Structure 1
Amino acid sequence: MRLATWNVNSLKVRLPQLLAWLVRHHPDVVCLQETKLEDAAFPRDDLAKAGYAACFAGQKTYNGVAILSRAAPQEVSVGIPGFQDEQKRVIAATLDGIRVVCVYVPNGQSVGSDKYDYKLRWLEALTAWLKEELERHPQLAVLGDYNVAPEEADVHDPKQWEGQVLFSGPEREAFQRLLSIGLKDSFRLFPQPEKSFTWWDYRMNAFKRGMGLRIDHILLSEALARRCTRCVIDVEPRREARPSDHAPVIVELKP
């Protein structure tokens, strides 16, 4: 079984790239972030022609999450229960016995800002909820754009990024607390090339200069981690014309 996550940074713009990518990789499940579409505008028919059912929660211009799947999604839920939030950042569904959670963690803007405080509160609420979900669903996968680079190896220049949003101490500590409930960073289950990143700023020619961060992650419960045989970052879509600033991440699970 192949699961993937991709922050497409506008599904309207990136739909042709997504459809071509689905043909190349044939994933069973894809979690999308930053769809930036109201639900009425979601391209359900185009994706159905490509062989994918979809559940989604969107809003105009900002945020938006979706799960595409070959199997019909069951037990679909939106948002973090008990956490008041108008922003569309979480959707979950059960697919072939796996509870799949798609997340788009707030960016945080800058350390010390109101948006940074919101990010930390959001992560705290997510962690508390996922702890409960894990008790109900031992086969749990949490995929998405976490807007956190967990380790120095996940940043092109740790000294430059030290104390900055996406790599600040409180954010990284919040990420570790999320792992501590019983989740594994699938990318770190295997030896990986140095300078492996999933996001590059559009500015400063960052992609060609290798100035990236690894902020898109697939976290797996221990039961799923034992089934995981591979985790890779597909940088090819980032090379295309008018790309998303993120690259997809893919995991493969044995039966």
Structure 2
Amino acid sequence: MPATTRKIATFNVNGITSRLPHLLDWLQREQPDIVGLQELKATQDAFPEQAIRNAGYGVIWQGEKSWNGVALLARGADPVEIRRGLPWDRGDTQSRYLEAAIHGVVVACLYLPNGNPQPGPKFDYKLAWFQRLIRHARTLVDLPHPVALIGDFNVVPTDADIYDPKGWRKDALLQPESRQAYRTLLDQGWTDSLLAVHGQTPIYTFWDYFRQHFARDRGLRIDHLLLNRTLAPGLQDAGVDKWVRALEKASDHAPTWISVRVPDVVAGPAPQAKAVSKPRKRPVAKAAAVRKPTAKTAPKIGTKKTPTPPATSTSTAPAKPRKRAKKRAE
């Protein structure tokens, strides 16, 4: 089947306003086709839509004052929005989940709660949110259409995914409950793309600002790109653009990406990204609410009907377990 190679990336910008120059430099240099952003830390009105569109990317976003916030970017096209927020908790107003069809792929951008300090209400919220994600992901993993879950999961899957776990044992990112939830997600049939590509080689996506951790490569792997059974066979490569983390006043995360072959032809009314449009007028205060999709603009997932193109091969075999990262003193 004819296919097109797409570069899909996730980047926790840790503040879209202060990190916009870094984001634009990275987009120009690396030219990813699909991008998920997390931790915008900006209201809906304050998002720099025009600057991103001027860079050649269509964009949808869900802002939140001072915290959270997610966005999806499409090179040369406009994402077709599917849903905002996870189902099953209408009282949850935090901006952490955005789903859209982009270049033939259903892409979910997520910012999973950090959960610290634990134990406590923040950790309880993290686990409850994780369970909602697992429940929704179950409706996506077996779709005959390519699907990717990308973002900051705030989970270190194993001790091999951190420079030295000793000093982090009490952190919510390493708790057994967090790791079990991540394994439950993978057990549905999702492929952890960085693990599949790099196997035994430690690879990090986050370095905190303390004690020169980036300069000493004392990192963690908490940004993940998970592929469903339809998309996983096309996985070609994966990596981390560490040069962005090395910039002055950088985010504590680095853009993390994959290269994957996406089938060009699908049967049925598969969602397709629209050509990039001019910047829209700033949304009003209620803009964060879900837009009503139409039959021509967006499929419906979960409680909504989803297009069903023909299935392809099953996911790639899991990579061999990696060796633990060499332990160094804190």
TM-score under structure 2 length normalisation: 0.75
From 211, 214, 217, the equivalent of 2:224 is: 217
| SS of equivalent residue, structure 2 residue 140 | helix
Match of 1:58 in 2: 63
AA paired with 2:261? K
In 2, Cα distance between equivalents of 1:243 and 1:19: 13
Q: CA RMSD in A?
A: 1.4
Match of 1:76 in 2: 82
Instruction: Give structure 1 regions of 4+ aligned residues with deviation exceeding 2 angstroms.
Output: 133-138, 158-164, 191-195
Q: Tell me whether 1:239 sits opposite 2:279 in the alignment.
A: no
In 2, Cα distance between equivalents of 1:192 and 1:207: 22
Structure number with greater CO (CA < 8 Å, separation at least 6) is 2
| SS of equivalent residue, structure 1 residue 102 | strand
In 2, Cα distance between equivalents of 1:27 and 1:112: 38
Q: Is the Cα–Cα contact under 8 Å of residues 116 and 171 in structure 2 kept in the other structure?
A: no
Q: Is the Cα–Cα contact under 8 Å of residues 111 and 153 in structure 2 kept in the other structure?
A: yes
Q: Is the Cα–Cα contact under 8 Å of residues 185 and 217 in structure 1 kept in the other structure?
A: yes
Report the alpha carbon displacement of residue 190 of structure 1 after superposing the two structures with TM. 1.6
Decide which moves more: 150-159 or 47-56: 150-159
Match of 1:196 in 2: 203
In 2, Cα distance between equivalents of 1:124 and 1:165: 16
Q: Tell me whether 1:155 sits opposite 2:162 in the alignment.
A: yes
AA paired with 1:132? T
Match of 1:226 in 2: 233
Q: Tell me whether 1:105 sits opposite 2:144 in the alignment.
A: no
Structure with larger Rg: 2
Q: Is the Cα–Cα contact under 8 Å of residues 229 and 253 in structure 1 kept in the other structure?
A: yes
Match of 2:28 in 1: 23
Q: 1:135 to 1:83 in 2, by over 3 A?
A: farther
Q: Tell me whether 1:94 sits opposite 2:110 in the alignment.
A: no
How many residues end up aligned between the 2 structures? Answer: 255
In 2, Cα distance between equivalents of 1:40 and 1:159: 42
AA paired with 2:70? V
In 1, Cα distance between equivalents of 2:200 and 2:207: 17
From 212, 216, 219, the equivalent of 1:205 is: 212
Report the alpha carbon displacement of residue 106 of structure 1 after superposing the two structures with TM. 0.2
AA paired with 2:138? K
Decide which moves more: 7-16 or 194-203: 194-203
Report the alpha carbon displacement of residue 96 of structure 1 after superposing the two structures with TM. 2.2
In 1, Cα distance between equivalents of 2:57 and 2:69: 18
| SS of equivalent residue, structure 1 residue 27 | coil
TM-score under structure 1 length normalisation: 0.96
| SS of equivalent residue, structure 1 residue 53 | strand
| SS of equivalent residue, structure 1 residue 223 | coil
Which structure dedicates a bigger proportion of its chain to strand?
1
